């Protein structure tokens, strides 16, 4: 089926625009950038339809990458039902975001007038690596894509490289992800030690007979990698700062695709986790804790993109809760629906920012519903979906996870349900602050976005509303992940939906019916509000306990002691000794004939004496 064409098409777009984009008009850049991704989506559809029901994985071997004795790693791509779901999300939602970016980046020139083509080249490169990650038939090919999307994330977060906050955010994302990637790399080493292979088919076939201790260690190390890429406790701190990149980047990388790579990897490795219950419990606990923790931070954020960034961290926690509760298909179901409504929320926030000439502070908005009605109604679809209100997309996937969590550990259900209420509250808080009340901003002419930006919003709104009906992901994945989810429980579902409705009503009372109520509560609970507003000071704690000691210690130990004291000391010492010896020897080159004659005579005497001594020895 020529699976290699799926990632190759975006890579071709990257090469063409990256090498020649500076000479192209924006229209030509668009043709190669958007056309390559749309063609990749079309080839995905053709491939999936051509492979039939995908009862077994379709594997394509291209060449042997590494061979040492019996250890063999091939450059192999594979498609099964899980891969098919991910390919459709990555290329489908990715195509919509690329189209949206035409309008959003229309006025972008950037330093040296290279911003526009460079942006789309980076987006295409990201698509290439993400598709390699999804298509990889072994852990090493997956890891290549994994590292590639990390690189592209760094490039796109720091896209405005002439602004310090953007470069700092890019560096932070890159470094934090490297911590997670180190865990992933260790897991691969241990997989080779345990199974003698990195191929998914071989590893997963042997997993049931492997020692549980080995599987637990592998599972925990893989989760370290997943926590970095998918922004889970304690490695979530990079994602909110990643909003420094352009809004299409936030939608593509930090909502719909890259941050879900950790969820995909844990789901792909479920054959390991299913025989390592301790590791699976860790995934569930980290997931539900992250979901709740990030949701509480989202309550007090005023940057519209930061609100949705913490929402992304929280929703990713739900996905891990699903996987950890043995409801893998429910977790992937939420991955799909989340791609719809969260991409829509980010793109919608970009439309708001575009309408307000760059303003992102919710306190400078208000009353926009009549000024940008298309943006308002599409974002409202996403807000209702993420709140888990039936019959919208988020309801199906979220409640499938919560019901499974109740069967796994009831306290996880209750904490997840509380999180659902908080999620509905802070999302509608943002909606009410932006679109209701009086306009509080300085720009007096908010304007609707152009059609090229609105069409993707409308399509994503339709998917947010009907995606739960259209795409029955758990049933599709049943041959791979038998439906371990608990049977439908009307009472549990009603409670979680009630929590979402309560969150919406509370947001309405505090920000529409009684607008001053929120400020009064914040003043009355100043200490708690300050703690939440400052994100529990986690960044400051990391700086004080990890970053500053490492930087300070490296300056003393590595710079002054190792570099200056030892390396420079040796190099400078050798140079000094050579200079001293040269200073002595240069005195021999005095230019005085008599001195030279004396040295010749002296040398001759030494030679005669040496020869005499040698003869005496004989």
Q: What is the DSSP string of 407-439?
A: HH-HHHHHHHHHHHHHHHHHHHHHHHHHHSS--
CA dist 89 and 267 (Å) reads 16
SS3 label, residue 614:
helix
Q: What is the pTM of this model?
A: 0.88
- Whether the pLDDT of residue 259 is over 60: the answer is yes
- Whether the pLDDT of residue 262 is over 90: the answer is yes
CA dist 110 and 162 (Å) reads 9
For position 484, what pLDDT does the model report? 55
How would you write 16-73 as a 3-class SS string? Answer: HHHHHHHHCCHHHHHHHHHHHHHHHHHHHHHHHHHCCCCCCCEEEEEEEEEEECCEEE
Task: Tell me which of 611 and 615 has the higher pLDDT.
Answer: 611
Tell me the pLDDT tens digit for each residue of 305-342: 999 999 999 999 999 999 999 999 999 999 999 999 99
- Whether the pLDDT of residue 196 is over 70: the answer is yes
**Which tokens is 447 given?**
């304007």
- Whether the pLDDT of residue 111 is over 60: the answer is no
Task: Tell me which of 545 and 282 has the higher pLDDT.
Answer: 282
Which residues, in sequence order, are CB contacts of 309 under 8 Å at separation 6+? Answer: 239, 240, 242, 243, 250, 254
At 54, the pLDDT band (50, 70, 90 cuts) reads: confident
For position 353, what pLDDT does the model report? 87
The least confident of 97-106, 178-187, 276-285, 437-446 is 437-446
For position 112, what pLDDT does the model report? 40
CA dist 314 and 334 (Å) reads 12
**Which tokens is 429 given?**
């808080």
**Which tokens is 485 given?**
């989810």
**Which tokens is 618 given?**
């004989």
Which residues, listed in sequence order, are joined to residue 60 by a DSSP beta bridge? 77
Percent of the chain with pLDDT over 70: 96
**Which tokens is 99 given?**
């189209």
Task: Tell me which of 283 and 555 has the higher pLDDT.
Answer: 283
Average pLDDT over residues 476-498: 80
Q: What's the Cα-to-Cα distance from 527 to each of 87, 481, 533, rounded to whole Å? A: 46, 46, 10
For position 271, what pLDDT does the model report? 92
- Whether the pLDDT of residue 148 is over 60: the answer is yes
Does residue 191 contact residue 218 with C-beta atoms inside 8 Å? yes
- Whether the pLDDT of residue 560 is over 80: the answer is no
């Amino acid at each position: 089926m020529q699976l290699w064409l799926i990632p190759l098409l975006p890579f071709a777009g990257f090469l063409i625009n990256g090498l020649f984009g500076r000479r192209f008009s924006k229209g030509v850049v668009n043709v190669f950038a958007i056309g390559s991704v749309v063609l990749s989506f079309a080839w995905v559809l053709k491939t999936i339809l051509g492979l039939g029901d995908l009862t077994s994985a379709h594997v394509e071997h291209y060449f042997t990458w590494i061979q040492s004795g019996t250890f063999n790693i091939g450059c192999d791509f594979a498609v099964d039902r899980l891969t098919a779901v991910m390919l459709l999300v990555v290329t489908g939602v990715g195509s919509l975001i690329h189209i949206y970016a035409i309008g959003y980046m229309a006025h972008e020139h950037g330093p040296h007038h290279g911003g526009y083509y460079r942006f789309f080249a980076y987006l295409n490169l990201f698509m290439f690596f993400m598709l390699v990650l999804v298509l990889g038939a072994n852990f090493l090919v997956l890891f290549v894509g994994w590292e590639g999307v990390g690189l592209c994330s760094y490039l796109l977060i720091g896209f405005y490289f002439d602004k310090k906050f953007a470069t700092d955010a890019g560096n932070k994302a890159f470094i934090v992800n490297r911590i997670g990637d180190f865990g992933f790399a260790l897991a691969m080493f241990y997989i080779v030690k345990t199974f003698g292979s990195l191929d998914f088919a071989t590893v997963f076939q042997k997993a049931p007979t492997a020692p549980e201790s080995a599987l637990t260690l592998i599972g925990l190390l893989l989760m370290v990698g997943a926590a970095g890429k998918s922004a889970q406790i304690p490695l979530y701190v990079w994602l909110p700062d990643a909003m420094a990149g352009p809004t299409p980047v936030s939608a593509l990388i930090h909502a719909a695709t890259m941050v879900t790579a950790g969820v995909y990897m844990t789901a792909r490795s479920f054959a390991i986790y299913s025989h390592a219950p301790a590791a699976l419990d860790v995934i569930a606990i980290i997931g539900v804790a992250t979901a709740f923790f990030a949701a509480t931070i989202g309550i007090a954020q005023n940057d519209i993109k930061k609100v949705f960034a913490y929402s992304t961290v929280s929703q990713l926690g739900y996905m891990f809760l699903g996987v950890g509760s043995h409801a893998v298909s429910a977790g992937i179901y939420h991955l799909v629906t989340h791609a719809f409504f969260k991409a829509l929320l980010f793109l919608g926030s970009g439309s708001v920012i575009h309408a307000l000439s760059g303003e992102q502070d919710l306190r400078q908005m208000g009353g926009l519903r009549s000024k940008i009605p298309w943006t308002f109604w599409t974002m409202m679809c996403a807000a209702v979906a993420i709140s888990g209100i039936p019959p919208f997309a988020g309801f199906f996937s979220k409640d499938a996870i919560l019901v499974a969590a109740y069967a796994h550990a009831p306290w996880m259900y209750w904490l997840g349900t509380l999180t659902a209420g908080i999620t509905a509250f802070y999302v509608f808080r943002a909606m009410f602050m932006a679109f209701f009340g009086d306009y509080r901003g300085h720009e007096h002419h908010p304007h609707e976005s152009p059609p090229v930006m609105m069409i993707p919003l409308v399509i994503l709104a339709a998917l947010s509303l009907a995606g739960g009906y259209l795409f029955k992901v758990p049933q599709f994945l049943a041959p791979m992940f038998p439906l371990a989810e608990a049977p439908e429980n009307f009472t549990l579902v009603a409670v979680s939906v009630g929590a979402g409705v309560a969150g919406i009503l509370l947001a309405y009372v505090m920000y529409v019916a009684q607008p001053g109520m929120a400020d009064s509560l914040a003043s009355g609970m100043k200490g708690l509000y300050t703690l939440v507003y400052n994100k529990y000071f986690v960044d400051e704690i990391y700086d004080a306990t990890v970053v500053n000691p490492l930087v300070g210690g490296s300056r003393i130990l590595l710079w002054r002691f190792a570099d200056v004291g030892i390396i420079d000391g040796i190099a400078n010492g050798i140079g000094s000794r050579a200079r001293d010896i040269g200073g002595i020897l240069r005195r021999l080159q005095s230019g005085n004939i008599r001195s030279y004659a004396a040295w010749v005579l002296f040398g001759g005497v030494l030679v005669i004496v040496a020869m005499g001594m040698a003869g005496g020895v004989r």
